Amino acid sequence: MKCNILTDHTLIIGELETRIKIHNWSTILPFLPTGSYLVGGYIRDIILGRVTEQVDVDIVVPLNAIEIGKKIAENIGSKFIILDKKREVIRIIFDKVYIDIANQVSCTIEGDLSARDFSINSIAFLFDKRCLFDPFNGLKDLESSLLRTRSEINLLNDPLRILRCFRFVSELNFKIDLNLVSFIKKNKEKLYLVAKERINYEIQKIVNGANALDAVMLLKNLNIFGSDNLYKDPFFLDLKKINYEELNQAEKEKFLPLFFTGQILDVVSLEKLKFSKDEIAKTKLLRKWHLFLQNKNIVQLSEKDRFKLHQELENFLPSFIFYLPQNLHLDWLKRWRDNDDKLFHPSNLLNGDVIKKNLKIKDGPILGELLQYLSRELAYKRLNNFDEAIYKAKQWIKQNAPKCD
């Protein structure tokens, strides 16, 4: 049980009303008709004592959600968006608060709540009666950190909810009910009926969660994104055997999401699911250097190969560190954290313009090769100042520039 969870209804309602004032959306309450209620993640997070950067509010009204939304937007000067005209779902945005208003679908509140994804999202606050309504024991499941669904049909109505289970593991450290695990195993292929962009969004949430490791291991164990043979590729590591504490907190937050993404998806899947070009390029580089080191012991790398490795992986080396022999981790991290280490952070004493001006050469492959050479010399401490760089550049040009008859 979470130590900061609210279990007393009076305390929950008190905190809820305080948050409404803090988030500055109490001005819309007078426009809501009798029978309106608040539901979903806003209540769940208040009960869990969870504060999120983005505030998402879900309100259900008996009828006329579009008309009500327009009146609210006009009166408080907020942005108004129709999300679904047929089902009458609208969004109001103001002060970084996103408020979705929808029509009640069933003839009763319980009927509407029974169609929601999980019990923890099926707790309602009735505005006019100032009370909580929890017909499916969502509060008890929150106390137990248990993810449970009332009806598997609710998940099949939107198969993305299968993936959202792992998001709750990652963000809230929840356990998944065993019946729900069995359902996921049988129906995981239906996830591919969902828009790729939505799947991408959920994966990003999963790999960035505070408990991402548990969620990623579960995704791999259930083969959510791959065939039975996918994770036999040596690029996919045994995540239980890794010492993540070698990274500091800032490094974990910045670099583990890329590492975890590469541990559940191959490059083809990244492309299909519309990951960014940057994420795909970085994963390709992680794979490239992992394969390279599979075939060559790292202590046997030539200076040129070692320099190239650091040049290509410089900006995200902690994402790669777990592919190295264990005895190298701390030393490599220590050197990478030192911005003045010219091997781990390749730089140059001369730029292209200076070389062109002083040595009278033009843009082209020769200039690029010369810059690489000088940067490598600096990385291996064979170069100390500007004058030495100019001298070495002249010597290199004599040896490598094309000769004219």
Tokens 């500055």 -> residue:
24
pLDDT at 232 > cutoff 80: yes
Rounded to whole angstroms, how far apart are CA atoms 320 and 235?
11
Rounded to whole angstroms, how far apart are CA atoms 45 and 50?
5
pLDDT at 401 > cutoff 80: no
User: Of 143, 170, 193, which residue constitutes the final position of a domain?
Assistant: 143
Q: How far is CA 15 from the centre of its chain?
A: 29
pLDDT at 405 > cutoff 60: no
Residue 114: how many other CB atoms lie within 10 Å: 15
Residue 224 carries which side chain, given as an amino acid letter? I
Is residue 251 in some structural domain? yes
Give per-residue burial for 117-154: e unless 16+ CB within 10 Å, then b.
bbbbbbbbbbbeeeebbbbbbbbebbbbbbbbbbebeb
pLDDT confidence tier of residue 1, bands split at 50, 70 and 90: very low
Q: What does the pLDDT read at residue 4? A: 63
Is 122 found in the same domain as 93?
Answer: yes
- pLDDT tens for residues 51-107? 888 899 999 999 999 999 999 999 999 999 999 999 999 999 988 899 999 999 999
pLDDT at 250 > cutoff 50: yes
Query: CATH no. for residue 130?
Result: 3.30.460.10
Domain that holds residue 109: 9-143
Is 168 found in the same domain as 121?
Answer: no
Q: Give the angle 54-58-59 at the CA atoms, nearest 5°.
A: 145
Q: What does the pLDDT read at residue 404? A: 53
DSSP assignment letter at 24: T
Is 201 found in the same domain as 111?
Answer: no
Is 242 found in the same domain as 224?
Answer: yes
Output the six-digit token pair for 250: 């800032």
Q: What does the pLDDT read at residue 53? A: 84
Domain count of the chain?
Answer: 3
Residue 134, phi then psi, degrees to nearest 5: -135, 70
Please state the rounded mean pLDDT for residues 243-262.
98
Rounded to whole angstroms, how far apart are CA atoms 157 and 164?
13
User: Of 250, 278, 306, which residue constitutes the final position of a domain?
Assistant: 278
Is 173 found in the same domain as 96?
Answer: no
Q: What does the pLDDT read at residue 3? A: 45
Residue 241 carries which side chain, given as an amino acid letter? K
Is 259 found in the same domain as 172?
Answer: yes
Please state the rounded mean pLDDT for residues 252-259.
98
pLDDT at 141 > cutoff 80: yes
In residues, how long is the chain?
Answer: 405
Tokens 């998402």 -> residue:
56
Rounded to whole angstroms, how far apart are CA atoms 135 and 116?
12
Q: Give the angle 272-273-275 at the CA atoms, nearest 5°.
A: 110
Residue 281, phi then psi, degrees to nearest 5: -65, -40
Q: Which of 61, 43, 185 is nearest to 118 (CA)?
A: 43
Is 123 found in the same domain as 206?
Answer: no
CA distances from 170 to 209, 255, 259, 311 (A): 5, 16, 15, 33
- pLDDT tens for residues 2-35? 446 788 899 999 999 999 999 989 999 999 999 9
Is 180 found in the same domain as 137?
Answer: no
- pLDDT tens for residues 264-280? 999 999 999 999 999 99
Please, which residues have CB within 8 angstroms of residue 310's CB and are 6 or more apart in sequence? 317, 343, 344, 345, 346, 379
Is residue 343 in some structural domain? no
Q: Give the angle 115-53-279 at the CA atoms, nearest 5°.
A: 90
Rounded to whole angstroms, how far apart are CA atoms 1 and 274?
38
